[in-house]
Amino acid sequence: MISEGETLEAISFSNDILDRSRSTEERDHLIEARVRMERALLGAIGEDNVGTELRWCVDRLNAICPGSPLHGLALLNLALWHSNKGELMMAMAVHSDISANSGHPGDIRALSRLEVARILVGMGDLDPAMRHLWSARNGFIDSEMSTEALVASLEWLDIALDEVSANSPTMDARIEEASPREGPGNTWIPANPDDITNVVDYLLPILTTDMSGHSRSDLGLIIDASEIIGRVDWTSGMSDRISEIQDPRVSEALQS
């Protein structure tokens, strides 16, 4: 109903379901929590009550089905609500409740890691942001979420190309050796060229399937990576198809 633009009808219908889930005859705590979460997201309640309602849903689902996909989704929604309110530390705290130890599935954990990475990027704390993006990328690949894996790969590569060093540990090593910091502050570690090669080799066949489009910063990242790593083969195929490229910045970079 929502996808067809029937939002008011959907809200009315969900209200009926909510009433039934609370009734003596059809009492169902799980359906009540799910419907209340959806109604909060749909704007069926007052804006001032959205955060309280999303928190109620998290707490109820944690009692009924902790670690379930629905519980993870409720945590994601609450964290995003805090982020949208500018309450970044609260958002991070909620995301920390999404974990493998809690039983949350890989796709939910990957979505959480992506959002945490974006918060850290906004704070300028790029070392942990890169680790979270890498974890998100791996989670999306394992969950066969190709679009999300593409996004996480591009966001990671955009940061990684700022500085590359063969002496830097790989991302897998950085994640394995990560430990809590003693105090606040932003940290940075250059990217390892092997990780960049891994990501570009993954991205290249996807991004070059269709090279049209007037704003192709993704192709620009491949060109930058090619220059930094010294992999001319990454751009040679693009140069052979330069007539297909509509972004003048990409065409100019390939011809320079």
CA 205 to chain centre: 22
- pLDDT(256) > 90: no
In a domain, 122, yes or no: no
Q: How far apart are CA 200 and CA 37, in angstroms?
A: 39
Query: Predicted confidence band at 182 (pLDDT cuts at 50, 70, 90)?
Result: low
The 10s digit of each residue's pLDDT in 230-245 is 999 999 989 999 999 9
Pull the structure tokens for residue 126. Answer: 């790029």
In a domain, 74, yes or no: yes
Nearest to 140 by CA among 169, 104, 113: 113
In a domain, 198, yes or no: no
Q: Please report the pLDDT score of residue 184 as a whole number.
A: 63
Q: Please report the pLDDT score of residue 43 as a whole number.
A: 86
Q: How far apart are CA 14 and CA 44, in angstroms?
A: 9
Burial of 147 (0-12, 13-18, 19+ CB in 10 A): exposed
- Give the mean pLDDT of 191-204: 98
In a domain, 46, yes or no: yes
Query: Predicted confidence band at 207 (pLDDT cuts at 50, 70, 90)?
Result: very high
- Domain residue limits at 80: 1-85
Q: For the chain, how many structural domains are there in total?
A: 1
Strand partners, 191: 164
How many other CB atoms are found less than 10 A from the CB of residue 47? 8
Q: Angle between the 106-123 and 69-84 helix axes, to the nearest 10 degrees? A: 20
Pull the structure tokens for residue 209. Answer: 């399937």
For 150-224, where are the E strands, in sequence order?
A: none
- Give the mean pLDDT of 78-91: 97
The CA-CA-CA angle for residues 144, 116, 99, to 5°, reads 65
Total-model pTM = 0.92
- pLDDT(124) > 90: yes
In a domain, 236, yes or no: no
- pLDDT(198) > 90: yes
- Cβ pair 121, 129 in contact under 8 A: yes
In a domain, 31, yes or no: yes
